[in-house]
Each structure stands twice: as C-alpha cells, then as structure tokens.
Chains A and B, each alone.
Chain A
Amino acid sequence: MTVEDEIEIMGQRLNRKIKGLFGRSLSIREVDAGSCNACEVEVNALSNPIYDLERFGIHIVASPRHADMLLVTGPVTRNMELALLKTYNATPEPKLVVAMGSCACNGGIFGETYASSGGVDRFMPVDVYIPGCPPRPQAVIFGLMVAVDKIEQKIRKLEVKA
C-alpha cells in the first residue's frame, strides 16, 4: 500500500467517524491562551474556501458549552490560566483537548518563565499534540483526524462507566 492510498483511506474514515459519532458534526472551541496569533491565523485559514473545514462537518463554535473539542493555542500565560480552566470545565463530556502549535505542546519559544507556564498539559489532559510554528492548515486537519480516532475510545470508556 502506498502513502497516497493510506491517506485516502484516512480521509474517508474521518468523514465516516464524524458522521457516526457526533451526528454529522464535530464542534470546536478555539482557545487563545496567550498565543502570538500565528496559530489563530492558521485556524482562520481552515474555514476559507481552500481548506474548508465545514465540508467534513467540523464547525468552529462561539462557546465551550456547544463544543466537543477544545483547540488550545499558546503557552498558557498566567493571565489565561484561570480562563482556560473555566473553559475546560464548561465543556460537556466527552471532551477532547488538542494542543495546537509548539507553544501549547511544550512552551515553545516562550519556554517556562514567570509569565508563561509552558504547555497546556500542565493543567489538563491533552489528547493530541500538533507541533509546528505555526502548523500548516493541512497539519491541523491531520491532527483532527488523529483526535477523532481518540474520541471513540473516550466514548467507549463513558459507556462502560454508565
């Protein structure tokens, strides 16, 4: 099997999974936790006609209460710590957290200082890391594919609990 075949199968699987698991839609709440705005520009690019995230049934929503997934960018500055935790608590279960960009993964170029805590995983469990400074829109789409694989496991866990 070539790489092209593999990617093609992955794309089809993403579409099928989103339709099956979320009733045709996956809602994303984008949280800027002190990012330099490069990642936000890439997220904006995801909804333009070229990358068009809506064709997969993925929507960017305006409130964490409507969201299935948090897309966190930035190294989590001291001022955004509480806001990020509140957003996380407001998101209904099952929820996914995706750390987008090198800053959200590990602190990146900001590192760990008085004002920046260095990574989202200090505060909440992170499901998928998308490195890149900033990641290409295609890399973000790939990250979402990886994340959707993961939410299936989470839903199963909740079903077992209930």
Chain B
Amino acid sequence: MFDIIIKTLRTGRVTSKYPLKPDIAPVGFRGKPELIPDKCTFCGECTRVCPPGVIWLTKEKEEETLTLSYCGCIFCGMCEEVCPSGAIRLSQEYELASKTKDDLLTIIRRTV
C-alpha cells in the first residue's frame, strides 16, 4: 500500500497538454500521404497497389489527374513503397478531421 502511494507520487503528472501544445508524432508514424507534383510521372502504380482503392488516375484527352482521398485511406504506406519516382511520401501530420469530404481530397494534374 505504502509503496504504491510512493510510486504514484514519484510518477507525477502524466496528462499531455495536447490541444494547448502541439504533440509531434513519433518517428516512423505513418500520417497524411503527400503527393509531390513535380516528381509524379502518372504511371498509376500506386492506384494498383492501394488496398482500399482511394487513389485513382483519370486520363482525358488533354489532361491526366491523380486524386488521393484521405477519407478511407488506411495509412499502410504501400503507395510510398511502390512509387518508382518517390512522388508519394507519408508525413507525420495526423490532424486531418474535416467537415466535408471534398476537403479530404488531394488532386494533382498535368497536361499531355
């Protein structure tokens, strides 16, 4: 009993001050995937490997569009692994909550 009290007092305060102070995710945390438009070659490798299928490539006559939706993304990192040009990178960012689904889309375009 006495030991437990001593231990509790020694531990001190553990509550994080999160909304008041930013909390940085640990190294290796898989957060928001980011597309780098300059590096992307629109090969479509990531669309094939994505398990929930939230990355899709649309090809029109003059424009190619790569869309990534965080809504449904399981943050597995397979797109980052498979990308030959390193155009997808998983960042440490995790504050993704939004009021609409459209805010959760990332779109990059290129003209052919």
With a cutoff of 8 Å between Cβ atoms, the chain B residues found around residue A159 in the complex are none
A14 B19 Cβ-Cβ under 8 A: yes
Q: How far is the CB of A127 from chain B (nearest CB, A)?
A: 7
Task: Flag whether B70 is at the interface (Cβ < 8 A).
Answer: yes
CA distance A19 to B72 in the complex (A): 33
| CA–CA, A132 and B98, complex, Å | 12
Please judge, given known A-B contacts A8-B20, A49-B14, A111-B53, whether A105 and B71 are in contact too, CB under 8 Å: yes
Give Cα A109–Cα B74 distance, bound, in whole angstroms.
Answer: 7
* B52 in contact with A146 (CB, 8 Å): no
Q: Which residue of B lies closest to A103 (CB)?
A: B72
Q: Is the interface of B mostly helix, strand, loop or mixed?
A: loop
Contact of B52 among A107, A129, A132, A143 (CB under 8 A): A107
10 contacts between A and B (CB under 8 A): A7-B20, A51-B15, A107-B52, A111-B53, A129-B101, A132-B96, A135-B97, A138-B23, A138-B94, A138-B95
Which A residues form the contact surface with B (CB < 8 A)? Answer: 3-4, 7-8, 10-12, 14, 49-52, 55-56, 102, 105-109, 111, 121, 127-133, 135-136, 138-139, 141-143, 145-147, 150
Extra contacts, 8 of them, besides A49-B14, A102-B72 (Cβ < 8 A), are A51-B18, A108-B52, A121-B101, A130-B97, A132-B96, A135-B97, A139-B97, A142-B19
